[in-house]
Amino acid sequence: MSQLIRVEDLRVVACGERGESEIVKGVSFALEKGEVLALIGESGSGKTTIALALLGYARRGCRLSGGVVQVGEHDMLALSEKELQKLRGNRVSYIAQSAAAAFNPAKRLLDQVVEGALIHGLGTRAVLEAKAIALFRDLALPNPERIGQRYPHQVSGGQLQRVMAAMALISDPLLVVLDEPTTALDVTTQIDVLRAFKRVVRERGATAVYVSHDLAVVAQMADQIVVLNGGRIFEQSATAPLLKGPAHEYTRSLLAAARPDTSIRPPCGIAEEQPLLTIKGLTAGYGNKNTHGMPAIRVLEDIDLTVRRGQAIGVIGESGSGKSTLARVVAGLLCPALGGLTFDGQPLGGCLSERTDEQFRRIQMVFQNADTALNPMHSVSTILGRPLKMYFGLKGAALHERIGELLDLVRLPRTLAERRPNELSGGQKQRVNLARALAAKPDLILCDEVTSALDTVVGAAILELLRDLRQELGVSYLFISHDISTVRALCDDIVVMYSGHKVQAGTRQAFAQPPFHPYTDLLIHSVPELRQGWLENCGTTCGELPPVGARSDEPELCTFLDRCPVRVDGLCNRSAPVRRNIDGGSEILCHHDSVELLKTQRDVINLSQGAYA
């Protein structure tokens, strides 16, 4: 085998007001035909910059300053822009992190998949459309003959990600660059997409560079791994030996961060018995209400939940399960249709207009994406100063000192106070996002997927910060996530949501081992493990499952019925499940008892472990 990809002493500089600074510092690696190489590291490590250099491209404000990037017979750094345009989307293809941002919402999917290949003259429209449909089939897209007639908004995120893969592969490229292609997906959707990517890459003999911050994901895809930090290679190895015995301390820190429920110290029982927030019989949704006051689209149904003072409750589930809607109701951003809320013993209005100023102050929300939550035109001090002025009337020296204290609290240097969000890293922006919530001195903070957009190391640091702040300030959290490992790292109790219903609730200890609700079992076994071969034997699916939110035709039946791998025909499809307590202390909404669930879930575990005994 000969080297298909060769990178030698690659250097990239960033150009700013203070001159040029080197951000990729002499990186070298090689790749044989048919191999998959992973570039991993924290945000800012240079992995995406290096991946884009394989296309002969540097982002605005950057310049490819030196080295060799050889793709087949092409020296990408020696070619003109016109020559590069002939290669991009043809001999070298790119799969971006956000498929939603990569597609034109006004054009059908099939037209966009074949467009690049038509421009490069790789075949007639009829030939390319037939090839696209074959790729849709290989990528396990539903109804491959017709899905191309849909528009981007008419398919799920996981489906759109696979359509983008078809767009990249239709030209039979020498190299495919996959840039964090599953980061924005739910854990269950991520598995389906990874399986589809891996199968197509292997079957078609494609050569690929996979960019990620997640070692567990990389372990399923890559033949070799390059570990980056600060634009330098810290370690380079075949996948198996690197996972078994990493040589560099930084690599070991990445491995630890990939296991958040073991790398973070467990909660220290500071919760009090006194309820802070109580939710009873909550039903909420969107759209016009009927004559009975019920919304056209019900998102939450009959939710009961209690958060005690100093307690952290995790709420998990896939997109569409109702997690964020629950947070919006608690925040007063969505009025419930039924049910009531009580906060610190007093009725809590469903809408902001029905709440007192003090209730408004005491419940704060930290949003998922700090990039959109922070005003890019304002400095950090202006952002933090606004709630301090509004709630406490601070000004002058007192205001300046309190801003400094808040930065200390979230472990940011006070020198960042006059910077704007675009001058901060992703982790720094999320800390400012949290500091703004803390400025109000709240009793309850609603954390909506606050680590999902961050790399594993930065995400683990944010979890550690949240844990310490809870202990120091006695604040309560309603922590929303789709990753049960993240929730187990921080929370005392866990609530599992599916299609608007609470299907399991219990202590974090109850989620350490079976039995679980079948949906909880699906989520737990969808979290990638740090070993090769896990993807093929993770035991998370039983045939083709409908998407989250797909319900039985009978609305009073179990909402998980059509996706459940342990459904009992004649029981589950005829009567509604009841809430019951199972071994371990959890309450579940299911027909099965502890013995039935435990036997099924032990069989799954034994099957998975047996493959690697």
Asked if 311 and 440 sit in the same domain, the reply is: yes
Mean pLDDT is lowest, of 38-42, 196-200, 266-270, 572-576, for 266-270
Span 331-356, pLDDT tens digits: 999 999 999 999 999 999 988 899 99
Asked if 238 and 122 sit in the same domain, the reply is: yes
Tell me if 282 sits within 8 A of 336, measured CB to CB. Answer: yes
pLDDT at 613: 38
Span 205-222, pLDDT tens digits: 889 999 998 888 899 999
Q: Look at residue 14 and tell me if it is in a domain.
A: no
Average pLDDT, integer, range 266-276: 73
pLDDT at 188: 82
The domain of 76 spans 32-62+71-258
pTM of the model: 0.84
Span 517-537, pLDDT tens digits: 999 998 888 888 888 888 887
Q: Look at residue 22 and tell me if it is in a domain.
A: no
Burial class (CB within 10 angstroms; exposed 0-12, middle 13-18, buried 19+) of 555: exposed
Q: Look at residue 2 and tell me if it is in a domain.
A: no
The tally of domains found in the chain comes to: 3
pLDDT at 97: 80
Q: For the domain that residue 121 is a member of, what is the CATH number? A: 3.40.50.300
C-alpha distances out from residue 225 to 33, 39, 384, 587, Å: 16, 6, 41, 42
pLDDT at 81: 94
Q: Look at residue 264 and tell me if it is in a domain.
A: no
Q: Which of 451, 477, 509 is the last residue of a domain?
A: 509
Which contacts (CB < 8 Å, 24+ apart) does range 408-415 have? Answer: 409/435, 409/438, 409/469, 410/434, 410/435, 410/438, 410/465, 410/469, 411/465
Q: Which of 465, 490, 509 is the last residue of a domain?
A: 509
Tell me if 485 sits within 8 A of 314, measured CB to CB. Answer: no
Query: In 3D, which of 479, 355, 375 has the Cα closest to residue 436?
Result: 375
Asked if 341 and 360 sit in the same domain, the reply is: yes
Span 423-439, pLDDT tens digits: 888 889 999 999 999 99
Asked if 154 and 193 sit in the same domain, the reply is: yes
C-alpha distances out from residue 601 to 8, 512, 537, 598, 608, Å: 49, 13, 14, 5, 11
Q: What is the mean pLDDT of the chain?
A: 88
pLDDT at 398: 97
pLDDT at 550: 46
* DSSP H/E element including 180: none
pLDDT at 266: 56
pLDDT at 269: 58
Asked if 386 and 341 sit in the same domain, the reply is: yes
Tell me if 316 sits within 8 A of 483, measured CB to CB. Answer: yes
pLDDT at 50: 96
Mean pLDDT is lowest, of 96-100, 204-208, 475-479, for 96-100
Q: Look at residue 453 and tell me if it is in a domain.
A: yes
Asked if 500 and 524 sit in the same domain, the reply is: no
Asked if 352 and 485 sit in the same domain, the reply is: yes
Asked if 187 and 45 sit in the same domain, the reply is: yes
Tell me if 527 sits within 8 A of 189, measured CB to CB. Answer: no
Neighbours of 35 (CB within 10 A): 19
Asked if 82 and 97 sit in the same domain, the reply is: yes
CA angle 582, 523, 189 (to 5 degrees): 155
Q: Which of 492, 509, 526 is the last residue of a domain?
A: 509
Q: Look at residue 577 and tell me if it is in a domain.
A: yes
Q: Look at residue 486 and tell me if it is in a domain.
A: yes
Span 2-25, pLDDT tens digits: 789 999 999 999 887 667 889 999
The pLDDT of residue 361 is above 70: yes
The pLDDT of residue 601 is above 70: no
Asked if 285 and 421 sit in the same domain, the reply is: yes
Asked if 306 and 396 sit in the same domain, the reply is: yes
Q: Look at residue 9 and tell me if it is in a domain.
A: no
Asked if 86 and 230 sit in the same domain, the reply is: yes
Average pLDDT, integer, range 300-325: 92
- Between 264 and 447, residue with greater pLDDT: 447
Span 66-86, pLDDT tens digits: 999 999 999 999 999 999 999
- Between 253 and 82, residue with greater pLDDT: 82
